[in-house]
């Protein structure tokens, strides 16, 4: 194609001078984001629920767990990825060949956000609702799925959207952990193209094309989340 803009798009989709194509990197990003959400959401909920339960009886322990849950945010993403890499090299180096390993860093970086979103929502729940349902014979699982989770629906959707968005755009930890080209995510592919020497004039246009795809995917995600916002909620869920 003569137009350099469309030539950049073609180079991105063809994987010219890159370890993976745009579609492969996008598929990897979505795959890691879904896996991250599947682990970070229940983990973050469990931590938030534990902190809330301990606040009334053992506030110091609750504060300690809260601080420990936030520790990944005190480190750069590169340091988190380096920690995952060194930990695996010293314990189970064979795991470094597994495709799901990059999700470890994503999970560590997103779980604190889940805790911070869900903890205030759990504190606002009326405890009398669960007490009444328990008196009526509802077990723990029944109360969880019939009362607690429906009441937390908005906060869970917000937490899930944040996890997906952060995972889709995560670069630092992925860049350290990704060992094979077929594992490349969109941010890693973009960084790879921007880091190449300038002898190929299509490198930067291809990187910009990949960035545009990432932008639209993330924007579509948050537009979809807006559909769940109650009328009149303004900036809240």
For residue 234, being part of any structural domain is answered with no
Give me the domain span that covers residue 108: 4-226
Closest by CA position to 213, among listed 188, 189, 186, 183: 186
Residue 236 lies in a domain: no
Q: Tell me, yes or no, whether 179 lies in a domain.
A: yes
The pLDDT score that the predictor gives to residue 182 is 72
Tell which residue, 161, 31, 29, 167, has the closest CA to residue 110: 167
Chunked in runs of 10, what are the mean pLDDT values of the chain (237 residues)? 70 84 92 96 96 92 94 90 88 85 92 94 84 77 83 90 93 82 85 80 88 93 78 54
Q: Is residue 235 part of a domain?
A: no
**Assigned domain for 231 exists:** no
How many residues belong to the chain?
237
The CA distance from 51 to 37, in Å, is 21
User: In Å, how far are 2, 67, 95, 209 from 199, measured between CA atoms?
Assistant: 18, 48, 37, 18
Q: Report the predicted TM-score, pTM, of the whole model to 2 decimal places.
A: 0.86
Q: What is the pLDDT of residue 194?
A: 86
| Structural domains of the chain, count | 1
Domain-embedded: residue 233: no
Q: Which two tokens stand for residue 5?
A: 């803009």
Structure tokens at 140: 């723990």
CB 44, CB 65: distance < 8 Å: no
Distance in angstroms (rounded) separating the CA atoms of residues 202 and 18: 11
Distance of alpha carbon 117 from alpha carbon 45, whole angstroms: 9
Q: Is residue 25 part of a domain?
A: yes
The CATH number given to whatever domain includes residue 96 is: 1.10.3720.10
| Residue-level pLDDT at 180 | 60
Residue 232 counted as domain residue = no
């Amino acid at each position: 194609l003569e137009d350099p803009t469309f030539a950049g798009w073609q180079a991105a989709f063809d994987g010219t001078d890159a370890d993976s194509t745009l579609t492969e990197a996008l598929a990897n990003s979505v795959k890691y984001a879904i896996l991250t959400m599947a682990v970070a959401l229940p983990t973050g909920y469990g931590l938030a629920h534990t902190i809330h339960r301990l606040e009334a009886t053992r506030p110091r322990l609750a504060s300690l767990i809260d601080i420990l849950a936030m520790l990944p945010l005190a480190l750069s993403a590169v340091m988190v990825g380096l920690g995952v890499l060194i930990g695996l090299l010293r314990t189970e180096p064979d795991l470094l060949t597994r495709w799901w390993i990059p999700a470890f860093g994503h999970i560590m970086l997103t779980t604190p956000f889940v805790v911070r979103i869900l903890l205030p929502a759990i504190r606002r729940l009326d405890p009398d609702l669960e007490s009444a349902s328990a008196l009526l014979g509802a077990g723990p699982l029944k109360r969880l799925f019939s009362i607690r989770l429906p009441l937390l629906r908005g906060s869970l959707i917000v937490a899930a959207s944040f996890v997906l968005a952060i995972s889709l755009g995560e670069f630092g930890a992925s860049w350290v952990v990704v060992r094979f080209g077929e594992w490349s995510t969109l941010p890693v592919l973009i960084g790879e193209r921007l880091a190449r020497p300038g002898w190929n004039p299509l490198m930067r246009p291809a990187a910009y094309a990949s960035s545009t795809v990432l932008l639209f995917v993330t924007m579509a995600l948050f537009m979809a989340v807006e559909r769940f916002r109650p009328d009149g909620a303004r900036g809240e869920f």
